Amino acid sequence: MAIDFNNEVVLITGGTGSFGNKFVEILLRDYNPKIIRIFSRGELKQLQMMQKFNSDSRLRFFIGDVRDKNRLWRAMDGVSIVIHAAALKQVPACEYNPIEAIQTNINGAINVIDTAIDRGVQKVIALSTDKAAHPVNLYGATKLVAEKLFVQANTYSAGKNTRFSVARYGNVAGSRGSIIPVILSQRKNGVVTLTDERMTRFWITKSQAVHFILNCLDVMRGGEIFVPIIPSVKVSELIDVMVPTCRKQFIGIRAGEKLHETLLTLEEARHSVKLDNYYVIEPEFPFWDKNLIEKGEKLPEGFEYTSNKNEKWVTKEEIMHFLEEQHDED
């Protein structure tokens, strides 16, 4: 049964980011939530977001950091749903500032979990990344730990109503820090840098990511890691479509970077099921009732979901259509 947001108070940590802006836009427009609380560190971004949505009376803005448990406690008063999107996510910055990444991405996750349980929040969805699967950099490693924390949190909330799940997906096209803004910023020089001609990435738009999270909220029972079935894109082809007159300069794979990304590992696939348009990684803990997933299709032995072996690929026409939509939004 779909959630009736008319009666829900929703809190989104890191709510002024790319995902948060699109999530708020869609929720206000299509679902009429009772209240959305934006929890983030920057007052300027909150002001810009307030202006963007014309000071909508359903929005509340809380300046705060997930490292600050007391502030989370205040922000979660009366909240029924939490979307945990706050994170340090720039790979080079996390490599250079590892303790800061751990403080936010791991200790912050613990604070969200503890506060949600103590405040009686009903559903918590944590946003994760393909970099958490077989991580090769600190950012991915912190998100892997965060995934483990949110799955296992369902044992801590035993006897209470709070349920935790995770949504893991790939690079969000057009989001801050993604490759599209980088390509656009480099085109004025006539040269675009690319680490390797073979590089592939998963592709999901901001709108698709929001609707995926909304679906996860509907179907979650607590403990699942949800993985959307999404297409891949060849980065070199993306550049050819976006800036066809620019020259590509190959600079080699950077520290902490993968040639291809993984959304579902070989080991995880052994306890995962496929539904219509997403996979569910089932928890390997006694609290998990396999009957909660009614019609899942078991995955074949040897299955893994990687960006280079994907059955679905973004076409040039789809890239062009996406860029036109982005231009219209701007």
Q: Which residues are catalytic?
A: 131
5 vs 10: CA distance, rounded Å:
9
Q: Which two tokens stand for residue 266?
A: 């070989």
Radius of gyration of the chain (CA): 20
Q: Are 39 and 77 in contact (CB under 8 A)?
A: no
Query: In the 3-class helix/strand/coil scheme, how is the chain assigned residue by residue?
Result: CCCCHHHCEEEEECCCCHHHHHHHHHHHHHCCCCEEEEEECCHHHHHHHHHHCCCCCCEEEEECCCCCHHHHHHHCCCCCEEEECCCCCCHHHHHHCHHHHHHHHHHHHHHHHHHHHHHCCCEEEEEEEHHHCCCCCHHHHHHHHHHHHHHHHHHHCCCCCCEEEEEEECCECCCCCCHHHHHHHHHHHCEEEECCCCCEEECECHHHHHHHHHHHHHHCCCCCEEEECCCEEEHHHHHHHHCCCCEEEECCCCCCCCCCCEEECHHHHCCEEECCCEEEECCCCCCCCHHHCCCCEECCCCCCEECCCCCCECCHHHHHHHHHHHHHHC
